[in-house]
Amino acid sequence: MNSLPELSDDAIIDVAREGGFAFIPKLSSPRRIALAQLDPPQREHVCSVLRHALRLGEPPGEQSRAGRGDQRYYRIEISYATQQQVGNLVILIPEDLAPPELVQLWHDGQ
């Protein structure tokens, strides 16, 4: 997976747990994190978790291991804008590969 782009105050991170046998919206509990609302230590923590997660994730697609059968996965969507580009990055991480820091980020939203 690509490296994490430079994230400024404009960056928005959405983290959700999806998949499984039945769709139960309450279990998804999507979290939206706006970097502009975080203090510098929190921002660095979130970016560190994202950098680690990028190494484990894969883009959505037919070949993705995430979401097959009854497997849950974490869906991370990063919307960002830098001086050079505006972009959107989506990665999927199977629940069994998700690092504890990512699970905590999804659970607490920070």
Per-residue pLDDT of the chain (110 residues; tens, 9 = 90+): 567 777 888 899 999 988 766 555 555 578 899 999 999 999 999 999 998 888 888 877 655 555 555 678 899 999 988 777 788 989 999 988 999 999 998 987 65
CB 56 within 8 Å of CB 93: yes
Distance in angstroms (rounded) separating the CA atoms of residues 89 and 9: 16
* 23 Cβ neighbours under 8 A, 6+ residues apart: none
